[in-house]
Amino acid sequence: MKKFLFSLCAFAFIFANVNAQSVTVYEKETPVGFNVSDIDSIIFSPEKANNPKYQTLDGKRIVDAHWLSLGTSITWYNDNVSSAFTKGYQTRVLEQLAFKQFTNKGISGATINSTVGQIIKADYYTIEHGVNDWGHSTPVGTINDYINNTKNGTFAAYYREIIDAIYKINPKAMIILCTPRKAYGFGTYLPAHWYDEFNGIYLKDYADIIKEIAEYESLPVADWFNLCGNQTNLARLSIDQALHPNDDGYQLMANVLIQAFEQVLVH
């Protein structure tokens, strides 16, 4: 004998034939028929027993949710493709995880302090910042600046404002933090090596504080800093020397971000 679970919020109705040989349950006007001999019990739940955030169709995962990407030109470029590459990391992610809606709010040249005004309601958020803050020498701050919401102009304090703004607009939002991709050069904008000190700050400092914030908030991380290029191959993964990704560089980023998404997408 079997048990069957239906949702009350789906407006289920039961009809039995006169001989009581079969039962038909209508859930949202969809009939589901059973033989009486197969039924042990029918349970009605106030919520759906299984409410997947994504389903697989022809090998592609269809995600019934809205994804908003925040970030710098590395994010902005997805909607502003140049002749040097074919698509950004978001399009590559969407080819594997087909979100019902996607919005790109990356800003070319942006530092983290310009991000709060770009936040709109969504279900999933990704945040990509750090490299322009390194170029503009934004003070990194500490995890205490984040925890205490100091609003002292540090990278950590601005990150708190972003997280708070997201949760204010959607308390159930899922947020993925992205460490900055390694970068150097681009004229005199950045040092000659990604590991150089620049005005007393290392690019790694931004990556480290992002991971501290993620650990504090129990949020997933797409660790582009450690997984998407290094001093030896970064130029070959970039359209310039060596800040913006090319197709190979964006594909690496997409691969890492897909893994982060898969940690939090509800099956």
Chain segment 167-180, per-residue pLDDT in tens = 999 999 999 999 99
The pLDDT-based confidence of 60 (bands split at 50, 70, 90) is confident
Tell me: pLDDT of 46 over 60.
Answer: no
CA 126 to chain centre: 4
Tell me: pLDDT of 42 over 60.
Answer: no
Region(s) of the chain under CATH 3.40.50.1110: 54-264
Tell me: pLDDT of 130 over 70.
Answer: yes
Tell me: pLDDT of 10 over 70.
Answer: no
29 burial (CB, 10 Å; 0-12 / 13-18 / 19+) is exposed
Closest alpha carbon to 182 in 233, 137, 117, 109: 233
For the ranges 9-23, 114-128, 231-245, the lowest mean pLDDT is seen at: 9-23
- Compute the average pLDDT of residues 96-123: 97
Query: Is the Cβ–Cβ distance between 203 and 130 less than 8 Å?
Result: yes
CATH annotation of 54-264: 3.40.50.1110
pLDDT score at 7: 45
- Compute the average pLDDT of residues 226-236: 96
Residues in Cβ contact with 199 at an 8 Å cutoff, skipping those fewer than 6 apart: 137
pLDDT score at 197: 97
Using CA atoms, how far apart are residues 198 and 191, in angstroms rounded to an integer? 7
pLDDT score at 34: 53
Higher pLDDT: 199 or 58? It is 199
Global pTM value: 0.79
- Compute the average pLDDT of residues 180-195: 96
Tell me: pLDDT of 181 over 90.
Answer: yes
